[in-house]
Amino acid sequence: MEKSYSKTRIMVECAIMIAVATVLSTFLKVYEAPLGGSVTVASMAPIIILSYRHGVKWGVESALIYSLIQLILGLGSVAWVPTVGGILLCVLFDYVIAFTLVGFAGIFKKLIPNEYVGITVGTFVACLMRFLCHLVSGAVVWYEITKAGQWNDVVNQFGMWAYSLIYNAQYMVPETIITVIVTPLVFAMISKIEKRR
C-alpha cells in the first residue's frame, strides 16, 4: 500500500511539474528569438528537479511528455520546414530529443555526493545537451531555410555551424545561466520544506 501511494504521489508530482514547466515556457518568456527559441524563467527547472528527486526514469518519462507538449505548441515553427526529412529532423532535434535529454539531469545525484553541486552540474549538462540538439537542427535544417528566405542578411556571412552556434547561443546561453541559478535555489527550498514535515 505504501509503495502504491508513493508511486501515485510521484505521478501527481510529475504531472504538476510538467504543467509548471509548460506554463513557464509558454507565458513567462523573457526574450523570444525571431526564428524560434526563447529565454524563459527557468522553464526546464521543474523537469530537472523532478529527475533529481525521483530518478532518471521519472525524469526522462516526464521530459518526454514535456517535449511532446513543446512540439504541439511549436507546430507553427515546424510548418516552415519544406521537406519531410527536414520536418523529421526538426521534430527530433528541436523538440523530442532536445527536451527529453533534460530528464537525464538526475544522473548526477549518484555521481556527485553533494546534492547542491550535483543538481547544479546536472542542470548545466542538461542545458548543454539541449543546446547541442538545437545546434544540429540549426545547421542541418534551419540554415538553408533562413538563407533561402533572406530572413537574416547575416546568415550569408557564416557557414551553417557558425550560424547555428550564434543563433542558438543568443537564447540558450541566457536560458542556461538563469536555469543554473534558479534550479538549485528552488531545489533547496523544496528540500527545506520536506525536512520540516
The tens digit of pLDDT for each residue in 127-183 reads 999 999 999 999 999 887 877 665 566 667 778 898 899 999 999 999 999 999 999
Most confident of 26-30, 81-85, 125-129: 125-129
pLDDT score at 178: 97
Where would I find the H helices in the chain? 2-27, 45-54, 56-73, 75-78, 84-90, 97-100, 108-111, 115-137, 143-149, 160-196
Prediction pTM value: 0.89
- Report the pLDDT value the prediction gives residue 118, as an integer from 0 to 100: 95
